[in-house]
Amino acid sequence: MACTGQDRRRGVLDEVPALCARTALAWAVVAALLAAVRPAAALPLSALVTAWAAQSLVALSGRGLVHARRRARRRARPAAALLIGDARTHTVAEVLRRSERPLVRPVGIVGPRAGTPGDVPVLGSADEVRRALGTHDVRLALCVGEPSAAYLRLLRAHGCALWRLDARGPGHGAAPGGASLAGYPLTPLPPGPRRPGAGKRALDLALAGPALVLLSPLLLACALAVRLSDGPGVLFRQERVGQYGKTFTLLKFRSLRPCDDREAATRWNVAQDDRMSPVGRFLRRSSLDELPQLWNILRGDMSLVGPRPERPFFVNEFGRRYEGYRHRHRAPVGLTGLAQISGLRGDTSIEDRSRHDNYYVDHWSLWHDVRILVRTALALVRPSGS
């Protein structure tokens, strides 16, 4: 609920009953234990009430500061949102745009065009919606009416929180104390498939950090081999597309002789590339060229397991040619993945890779990640791809 930036959200006053009740229960337990262990030191009722009131006041003050900072941060940077639905979306967009203290900033309307052009652009195709999602880093979609299933899939694939907005205004469909935005009642739509979260990140940090330390002699040996074989420029840096279409700089040991930036960004690499040195070929075949990406994982650019990241040029190309290719960016990109352990490495079918990647995202679990990591480790013992 917090991600919507709605007008009517839970505040510190909403937390008073629950917080005071929990504090009272805690002090009641303490008093009961003390009375049972040392009856002579049992706390009088006045002391209990004083302690309960003092702790409740301190806790509520802390929660008040948290809510105040969160509210100030949201008002300083209103959340970018798409509005989807019928003709009423234009009215809602204008109401939100004219708000004196906006918490939500409409950046696009997915619906019929209005008779008079407004300040919020109308997005007439899925490609325009994708561009708006990436350009404005949209994480919120407000549905006025019934959006199409295709758009719901697209928005969920991008990681948007989906809320139904009742454009009839106050008094229509609003639950007591429910969420609202500019007087319009809000109802959360059911989430899509489960997405990787804190558990996945914890696994990444728990494994990637120690691995980087333990493998440092091997990293140094690889760097020295590349330096002696191909000269300066041990590390290869290249822009790749990560989760939700965000780009980052991927690190690898250089396995190909240098070429110009445009060629590097648009040329598809194959196993028998004539620019590959013997050392580079060994690094590719053994997957040792990927080890610097442990640093990308620690930085949060990547995960240990996920769809392999691709260059922006090919993401755009494959996104046009293969249905569902862009949906693979719902999860963090990874060092290895289901496609890779299924033999889809190097110059293999992009359509097959995309299908495996989307299956992984739709059926993600922490145990699935562990299984993929174990199978990857076993595959490294008998490397066969490039």
Task: Spell 321-353 as b/e; 16+ CB within 10 A means b.
Answer: ebeebbbbbbbbbbbbbbbbbbebbeeeebeeb
Q: What is the pLDDT along the chain (386 residues), one digit of tens a residue?
A: 444 444 445 566 778 888 888 888 988 888 888 888 888 777 788 888 898 889 889 888 888 888 777 777 766 678 888 988 887 888 888 888 887 677 788 888 887 776 556 678 888 888 888 888 878 888 889 988 777 777 887 888 777 888 888 887 555 555 555 677 877 888 888 766 666 778 899 999 999 999 999 999 999 999 999 988 888 888 999 999 998 888 999 999 988 766 555 655 556 555 556 677 888 888 888 889 999 999 999 999 999 999 999 999 999 899 888 877 888 888 899 999 999 998 888 778 898 999 999 889 888 889 999 999 999 988 877 655 43
pLDDT at 192: 62
Enter the DSSP assignment of 170: T
The pTM (predicted TM-score) of the whole model is: 0.57
Residue 217 half-sphere exposure, CB side, CA atoms within 13 Å? 1
pLDDT at 231: 82
Please report, for the chain, the start and end positions of each structural domain, with discontinuous segments joined by +: 2-72, 78-188, 198-381
- Report yes or no: 89 and 108 within 8 Å, Cβ to Cβ: no
pLDDT at 6: 46
State the Cα–Cα distance between residues 197 and 169, nearest whole angstrom.
35
pLDDT at 3: 46
How far separated are the first and last CA of the chain, in Å rounded? 45
CATH number assigned to the domain covering 78-188: 3.40.50
Cα angle at 131 between 236 and 7, to 5 degrees? 115
